[in-house]
Every structure is written in structure tokens, then in C-alpha cells.
Structure 1
Amino acid sequence: MACGARETGVRNEPIVILVVEDDQSIQSVIEEALSDGGFETAIAATGEEAVTLLQGRQDEYRALVTDINLTGRFNGWEVAKRAREMHPQMPVIYITGAAADQWASNGVPDSVLLNKPFAPAQIATAVAQLLNEAPPAASQ
């Protein structure tokens, strides 16, 4: 079993990670790294699209990987705050090439920040680590 794939209940349901990145080449790298780690991905190119996906399928996404500087109204800080309003324990991994110095003041608690460029395996490792540290999702 891959490092990220773990049983999520009676059924072995996929662990879906919401990836918010406006650069298609970086999207592809993240998607491949997470897939190699045993995860499925949903991709959003803007913060607005990510928030819409989170609102529409709140229980589908188990973690959020978001770039900080996104096109559109919402940046990655805002997307993560909205995600945490809906799911207070949702693991959040920020990726950035220029905004790392803002993490302490803008990042949500218990999040991880990866600076670009990063090794693709770092994404899957960070997601798996945060998922393993998070309390189990409430059964509904």
C-alpha cells in the first residue's frame, strides 16, 4: 500500500486532495506526486473555484494543497481560511515561491509550507504526515 493510501472506514475509499494552483506545469507535478503517494486529486486553478468545490463537496476532500499567489480574488491564505471554517481539522499545505515570510501571520494553525522549488515527494509526504496527525473524521 502506498504511503498515503490508508483505509478510511469500512470501504477503502480514495483519499481526495484538493490542489489549488494556477500554473498548469506545477499542477501536473503535484498531481503526479500525490498519485504516486496513493492519493486522488481534484484540481482548482483559482481560489474562487477551490472555495466553490469545498462548499459543494465538503466531505469529499481530506486535505488542501494551495499555492499562495493565485489569480483571482482569493489567494491561498484566504482559501485555507475558508476551508478551515468548513472543516476545522483539514490538513493544509501551502506552496509558494515568494510568500514564505507571511506564513506566521497569515497561515492557518498546524499547516505546512513548502517553498518552490520543492521535490515532488515532499508534497505527498507532507499530506500523509498531516493526515496521520489529524483526528479521525467524524462518522456520519
Structure 2
Amino acid sequence: MVVSEVPLILVVEDDYPLQGIVEDSLTDGGFASDILSSAEEALTLFKGKTKNYKALVADVNLKGRLSGWDVARQIREIDPAFPIIYMSGAAADQWPSRGVPNSVLLEKPFAPAQVVTAISNLLNAGTSTP
């Protein structure tokens, strides 16, 4: 019997309490996660291809030069079908114009289980082709 690897999710969130909530909900949902607080770190890890990330969960308002919108856009330039979940408290109204196609937006505050559901739905949508 082959044990399938636990899907690894790249999370970019600069609010430390929320990092823990997201990490716990992903673990409970059967996912592994790398939690980073900067967009630049996330892009470096993603582009380094040292790990096989299955989805991005990004806060749209991050400290630093790049926003969650920027991270998602750059990742989609590399992998056009990569699953993206945005988290936002104040910028939800920008999603239609700044978000990438086929992404999900979770408005803060959200139930932790919503993150797992959003990732599962996007991953399952992407597995219809061989």
C-alpha cells in the first residue's frame, strides 16, 4: 500500500494569531502547511521548487512591498492553474478587479473550517484532468 503524501499548502499571513488558527485548521483538515509572514519569502520558496505546494492561502494586505494579490499573480504566471485562496478583512471589494481567475476569497473573520473547504474544493476541481 502506498501512502500518499499530505498536500502541502503555502500560507502567507503576517498576523501571528491568525497564522496559528490557519495552521491548526489545515492540520485538522489533513494538510501540511508552510506559514510565512512575507510575500517575498513565499515567492522565494515557491520559485525554488524545493517543495511541492498544492495551493496558496494569502492575506491580501501584507507588510512589505508585495501584497497577497501580487504573490498570487506571480505564482499564476508560473503555474496558470495553481489554486489560490485569498483572506481579507478590508480589501474584499478589490477581489473582482485584483484577484486571479478561479480563486476564492474568504472574508475575515471566517470559520477556520472554511479554509479547508476552499482548498479541498479547488484541489478537487483541478483533478478532473489526468
TM norm. shorter chain > 0.5: yes
1:93-135 deviation per Cα after TM superposition (whole angstroms, max 9, x unaligned): 0000000000000000000000000000000000001000014
Residues 46-125 of structure 1 aligned to structure 2 (within 5 Å): 46-57=38-49, 60-125=52-117
Give the AA of the match of 1:74: L
Q: Which runs of 4+ in 1 moved over 3 A?
A: 135-138
1:47-100 deviation per Cα after TM superposition (whole angstroms, max 9, x unaligned): 101110111126610000000000111100000001111111111000000000
CA distance in 1, matches of 2:103, 2:16: 24
CA distance in 2, matches of 1:75, 1:111: 16
TM-score by length of 2: 0.94
1:11-36 deviation per Cα after TM superposition (whole angstroms, max 9, x unaligned): 51120000000011000000000100
TM-score by length of 1: 0.87
Give the AA of the match of 1:112: V
Q: Name structure 1 gaps, 5 residues minimum.
A: 1-9
> Residues 45 and 75 from structure 1, CA distance in 2 versus in 1: closer, same or farther, beyond 3 angstroms?
same
CA distance in 2, matches of 1:89, 1:115: 22
CA distance in 2, matches of 1:96, 1:18: 16
Q: What number of residue pairs does the alignment pair up?
A: 129
Give the AA of the match of 2:82: M
Identity, in percent, stands at 53
Number of the residue aligned with 2:124? 132
* Aligned 8 A contact 1:89 1:135 in 2: no
Q: Does 1:45 align with 2:37?
A: yes
**Over aligned residue pairs, what C-alpha RMSD do you find?**
1.6
Q: Name structure 2 gaps, 5 residues minimum.
A: none
1:44, distance to aligned residue in structure 2 (A): 1.2
